Amino acid sequence: MRSRPALLTIWTVVIIVVLYVPILAMMVMSFNDSRFGTLPFEFTLKWYAELTPTNPLIQATYTSIQLSILVAGTCVVVGTLLSLWLARPGTPWLRNAVNSSLLATVTIPILILSVAILGIANRLGLGQSVTSLWLGCTVVSLPYVVFVVSARIASLDPALLNASRSLGFGPFQTFLRVTLPLIRSAVLAGALMAFVTCFNNFAVQLFLAPLGVQTLPVNIYAQTRVGISPDINAVSTLTILVLIILVVVLQILSGNAAKVVSGTGPSGTGKETR
């Protein structure tokens, strides 16, 4: 019995090593003077200096950022409205159908989902286009916003909304002055999740991106088919660092949302969860 915790610890360490050592090695080699990553190691920043605005990797990064911002904005608007609708009473079968569809989007293998979206886009006459790329990434990223915002809305005290209506506020004023401030952290967390999901979604971008439009994952894939260049290591290192910052911000926002739910945060009064 005592050997089981030790075995679990060893297994956990092995998994961490397998997952993260290659990433650390790539980050280290982005500072190596050798183009082929050979030893001895000689520190240099020249591969980062090559990441100029005319570099295809940087142009692809700009494309990915623009696409991710567009998708995140769309998911925030649609996901928040859908979450508000799911919180309303009535038509439980329809709510269950919507929730099942969102859950299926997350659980279905991404390659199968990408092919399905491409097939629908072809039927609609969109084919591989910017519109298809935007819609496909939105479909994949939307569930994360809905899940986060719906969980926050479900924790709200209905008495707050009823008090707002009793004071003469209409539905739109109630949303702006009561609901939105209470769910703001969840909305921001959902937006970051949608941004990261879209930015990293290689399969959907590969299937739906039109000719001449390359996002960062697609560009890296195309270049690595003929070899890994040091500037790929450099841009990958910068991307990982930025994503780590976004994950930390996401954790902070999620923690703030949890405090608000429990009534201990700056927006919580302790009466909301009674």
The string of pLDDT tens digits covering residues 44-84 is: 888 888 888 888 889 999 999 999 999 999 999 999 999 98
pLDDT value for 270: 45
Whether 36 maps to a domain, the answer reads no
**How sure is the predictor about 136, in pLDDT bands with cuts at 50, 70 and 90?**
very high
Q: How many domains is the chain partitioned into structurally?
A: 1
Whether 47 maps to a domain, the answer reads no
* pTM of this structure: 0.80
Question: Domain of 235: which CATH number?
Answer: 1.10.3720.10
Q: How far apart are CA 2 and CA 211, in angstroms?
A: 59
Residues 26-37 pLDDT 10s = 888 888 888 777
Which two structure tokens, joined as six digits, stand for 211? 């000719």
Which two structure tokens, joined as six digits, stand for 127? 């084919």
Weakest-pLDDT range from 7-11, 33-37, 109-113: 33-37
Whether 272 maps to a domain, the answer reads no
Whether 15 maps to a domain, the answer reads no
For the chain, what's the residue count? 274
Helix-helix angle 92-107:130-154, to 10 degrees: 120
CA distances from 69 to 55, 56, 267 (A): 21, 20, 27
Give the residues across from 32 on adjacent strands: 43
Q: How far apart are CA 149 and CA 188, in angstroms?
A: 9
Whether 116 maps to a domain, the answer reads yes
Structural domain harbouring 79: 56-262
**How sure is the predictor about 99, in pLDDT bands with cuts at 50, 70 and 90?**
confident
> What residue type is assigned to position 105 of the chain?
T
Whether 111 maps to a domain, the answer reads yes
Average pLDDT over every residue of 112-127: 91
> What residue type is assigned to position 224 of the chain?
T
Whether 94 maps to a domain, the answer reads yes
Residues 165-210 pLDDT 10s = 777 777 778 887 888 888 888 898 899 889 989 998 999 999 999 9
